[in-house]
Structure formats: structure tokens, C-alpha cells
Amino acid sequence: MKAAGVIVEYNPFHNGHYFHLQGTKEQTNADVYIAVMSGNFLQRGEPALVSKWTRAKMALQAGVDLVIELPYAFATGKAEVFSNGAISALDTLFVSDICFGSEHGSIDAFKNTVQYMTENKQVFDEQLKKEIAKGYSFPKASSLAYNSLDSAKYTVDLSMPNNILGYHYVKAIHEQKSSIQPHTLKRTGAGYHDEKPFDNTIASATGIRKILLGNNGELNKIKSLVPETTYDALISYYESYQTYHHWDIYFPYLQYKLSVTDPAELRTIYEAEEGLEYRVIDKIKDASNFTEFMEAIKTKRYTWTRLQRFLTHILTNTTKEEMAPYLEKMEVNYIRILGMTDRGQAYLKEVKKKVEKPIITNLNAKHDDPMLKMDIRATRAYALGYPQEIRTSLINQEYRTTPVRISHL
């Protein structure tokens, strides 16, 4: 069986994701489609709107055959870390092709960009240091350094969010010496960060989340923007938990942690750099909510996303020391199955004996992997802010939930 992969967050699964999945099927003509999906915390340093199990079900109902979890160590990393973890997971499962959305839309341009940047790495790195010294954030400095190179004629615009991720996917394939063949679809409609729908059917996940969180769970305004199965799942989740997950739920815990933690201890947290620990400790005392706190700490150098990732690691107590081996090796330690269709199960059965890493379907057995322990700790943090019964339910899902099963007849 030929397997194609997509790298996703599905926060939540919407019509744009459906069209991407259909485009992936058209471009790859695979027998089975595998999604490597972030867990309960995401690449932009945010809690997922609904749990990973609910999002896995959304994906399966929409046509994905197998959903595997991208471990927290990679799911909450910058683009390079996120991409390497995802490609490692798909490569482990012998995926032959991947397809990603991009603003550019030409895979040859991405390949050219990777080749160009490899050949001009020293020049780029020197220019990057100069831009960072001017006080720019890393993404902005990278974009300026890249634009200073004579590459525009045959490479992609790395100031665009999906182009950046696509570049890192292709770069990870190259660096990992993977046989995966990349494909890309040109994104149309709402952009990655757009908060307003492009039309009556397409909106970004960012825009959909803003509608949901701004309307006390009223879903009627997004009904045309998501598949019916997503709509039903969102209704069910809200009825069960009385809210969706968002940063304000966790703000009191973050506030407590920053109020009682010594700067030296905070400095050990992953992504604490250049005295950032002093800034967050200083600003937390006057903030009354998460947005107010973020407005107080963001600077020209530190983007909103970069700061959110740091705060996520504070909430989950993720240290530089425990992240170090994963940043060096840049590969997953295991494959955690979140859901599957009959085709997905058949594919797993076909490749299982060849897969060289553990395949995990439940945590009832003893698992001592440090990377997996980070995932479990992240789930415990994700359950904070809810009444005891709901909190216990969310934590127990980590241990008792078996992969979601959907039969496509």
C-alpha cells in the first residue's frame, strides 16, 4: 500500500483542510492517508481548542485514514523543530509522499530554495546576525537576511507563513536523507492568520477560533465554514466541557508560577533567553488577563508566537536540559496512534514489523520514554482550569482512550 502524509494541527478541522486533503489525494494517488497531528498544545504556543482525540475524530470523519500524534517536544517548537519531528514520524511509517499548502504553489521552487540556502548558508548566517543585532525578532531577521540574497528569481518568499513551513518540510526531508517526495498546493482564500472569512465557506482556523471564543460557544456563525462532522463535534465538546480551551483559562496558573518562581529557576525553562525571565516576572504582577500580559511583554525582538511558546513551556515545566537531546537528534522516539480507519489499520498491519520504533496504542502498559512523559505532563497542564470531574476525565483520556475508530464503507 502506498501512503501519503499531511502535517496538521486541525484546530479545528475546516473546509480549507478538507480541500487540502482532497488535493493531496489527487496529487499523490495513494492508498492510505496519514496525518501527523499536534497534540494538546500547538506550534504557535497555544492550547488546542478541543482535545487531540476530538480533533483526530474530525480528521478521520473527513477522509484521513491514520492519525498519529506529533510529540509535544516538536509540536510546540519553532518551524524547523516542528518540521523535523513531523517528517521523522512520517518517514518512520514509510510514507512515500507528503503534500502541504503554500502561498507559492510550486514544489520546484521549494527544492531550489533548499539548495540555494544550503550553498549560501555562511552568507545567510552572517547577515542574520546583523539583523538580529538591530533588535529584530528571529523570524523578521531571517526574512530580511533572506531577502538580502540574490535569490528571488527562482526561490519562494520566506516572509509568508505557509511558505516558511513548506521550506522547512523540504529542508527536513533533505537533511534526514528521506525518500519522501514533497508536493504542494497553492493556498486560496483566507490566509493563515486572517481573522475574516474569505467567502461563505473558507476561513482560516485563526478566524474560526476567534468567532467561537467571541460568541460564548455559539456555533451558528461557523456552520458554513466547517464540515458537518466538525460542527457536530464542536457542539458536543462544548456541551461536555462548557468552554473551549484558550489561554485565559490557564492564566491564573501561569500567574501563580511566575509569582513564586526564582529567575534562576525560570532561566532553566526551554526558550528562556536574554533575560526574558526577568521581563515576564516583572510584568505578570500588573496583568489581569492573558492578553493584557502579552501586550506588556511583547517587543520588537520577541513575537507573540515566540512568547506564547515560552509561556507554554513554563506552564508544562519543560526545561532546556530535557529538550536538548531532541533538538540534537531531531527525530521522534515512538509512534502514538490517535485514530484509524479500516484502511489505516490495514496499513499499520502491513508495515508494523518493519517499523523500528515503538507503536503505542494505549498507555496502560508501562512507558518510561522521557519524550512520552512530556506528552503526559502536557495533558495534565491542558486539564487545568476545569472542575475536578472534567479535569479527571481529560487526564484519564491520556491513559484509557484507545485509538478512535471510524469505518469508511
162 is in an annotated binding site: yes
| CA 186 – CA 24 distance, rounded (Å) | 12
Q: Three cell numbers at 172?
A: 527536513
260 is in an annotated binding site: no
What percent of the chain shows pLDDT beyond 70?
93
pLDDT at 147 over 70: yes
101 is in an annotated binding site: yes
pLDDT at 46 over 60: yes
15 is in an annotated binding site: yes
Instruction: Dump pLDDT digits (tens) for 248-283.
Output: 999 999 999 999 999 999 999 999 988 999 999 999
64 is in an annotated binding site: no
pLDDT band at 305 (very low <50, low <70, confident <90, very high): very high
187 is in an annotated binding site: yes
Instruction: Dump pLDDT digits (tens) for 337-369.
Output: 999 999 999 999 999 999 999 999 988 656 789
197 is in an annotated binding site: no
| CA 28 – CA 8 distance, rounded (Å) | 17
200 is in an annotated binding site: no
pLDDT score recorded for residue 194: 46
333 is in an annotated binding site: no
403 is in an annotated binding site: no
pLDDT at 409 over 60: no
6 is in an annotated binding site: no
**CB-based contacts of 329, cutoff 8 Å, min separation 6:** none
DSSP codes of every residue in 26-60: HHH--SEEEEEEE-SB-TTS-B-SS-HHHHHHHHH
279-297 b/e (C-beta count within 10 Å ≥ 16 → b): bbeebbeebeebeebbeeb
| Best mean pLDDT range from 87-101, 188-202, 213-227 | 87-101
User: Worst-scoring range by mean pLDDT, 45-49, 203-207, 327-331?
Assistant: 203-207
Query: Which residues pair with residue 317 across a beta bridge?
Result: none
| CA 374 – CA 138 distance, rounded (Å) | 26
**CB-based contacts of 402, cutoff 8 Å, min separation 6:** 361, 362
User: Worst-scoring range by mean pLDDT, 67-71, 229-233, 300-304, 378-382?
Assistant: 300-304
Structural domains of the chain in order of their starting residue, each with its CATH number: 3-103+186-196+331-406 (3.40.50), 247-322 (no CATH)
Please state the rounded mean pLDDT for residues 186-212.
68
